């Protein structure tokens, strides 16, 4: 199952009926007959292209590239057994594929659509927070409390 990132009520589902279904508000809106069983379906951010992992027992695991509204652009054989998982990086630049054959394939995605070029400048903002173990945090809190009490003791002695 995949969804359009910008529209939260449209989903795409695959099953053993060899089709891709577009579901909007819980109702099937559109159906594409893929002709093969699809195990995984992922969409690029912006839903300009879809990647479908083929899961036929008698065929090698391939990845189909589809353009909406369901035009097959091309197909790449990636695995000797069915495709198990597909994932796309946050910036639409890399497709990760793993298969039942134990192989992890990494593909560079070259987006020729000028609208997709605007996303190239996406930056991940670093957090101002750090995660530390609880024991280390407790030690820091104890040290701070000790220093506060030392400061208070020095203030009392100087008065």
Position 139 in a domain: no
Rounded Cα distance between 110 and 65, Å, is 12
Per the prediction, the chain carries an average pLDDT of 82
pLDDT per residue over 5-51, tens digit each?
A: 556 678 888 878 888 888 888 888 888 888 888 888 888 877 678 89
Position 134 in a domain: no
What phi and psi values does residue 119 have, to the nearest 5 degrees?
-80, -10
Position 137 in a domain: no
Position 153 in a domain: no
Range of the domain at 86: 2-129
Between 158 and 45, where is the model more confident?
A: 158
Q: Give long-range contacts, CB 8 A cutoff, 24+ apart: 59-62.
A: 61/99, 61/100, 61/101
- The reported pTM is 0.63
Between 149 and 129, where is the model more confident?
A: 149
Rounded Cα distance between 108 and 106, Å, is 7
Judge contact between 19 and 36, C-beta under 8 A: no
Check residue 86 and give its pLDDT: 92
Q: Give the CATH number of the domain where residue 14 resides.
A: 2.130.10.10
Rounded Cα distance between 83 and 74, Å, is 16
* Count: domains in the chain: 1
Position 108 in a domain: yes
Position 56 in a domain: yes
Between 47 and 159, where is the model more confident?
A: 159
Confidence band (pLDDT; 50, 70, 90) for 60? confident
Check residue 122 and give its pLDDT: 55
Position 144 in a domain: no
Position 138 in a domain: no
């Amino acid at each position: 199952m995949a969804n359009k990132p910008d529209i939260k009520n449209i989903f795409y589902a695959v099953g053993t009926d060899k089709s891709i279904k577009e579901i909007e508000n819980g109702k099937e809106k559109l159906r594409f007959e893929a002709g093969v069983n699809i195990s995984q379906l992922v969409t690029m951010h912006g839903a300009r292209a879809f990647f479908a992992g083929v899961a036929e027992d008698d065929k090698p695991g391939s990845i189909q590239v589809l353009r909406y509204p369901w035009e097959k652009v091309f197909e790449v054989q990636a695995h000797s057994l069915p495709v198990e998982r597909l994932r796309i990086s946050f910036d639409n630049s890399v497709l990760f594929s793993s298969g039942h054959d134990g192989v992890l394939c990494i593909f560079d995605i070259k987006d020729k659509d000028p609208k997709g070029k605007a996303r190239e400048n996406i930056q991940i903002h670093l957090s101002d927070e750090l995660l530390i173990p609880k024991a280390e945090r407790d030690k820091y809190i104890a040290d701070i409390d000790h220093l506060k009490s030392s400061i208070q003791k020095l203030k009392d002695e100087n008065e």
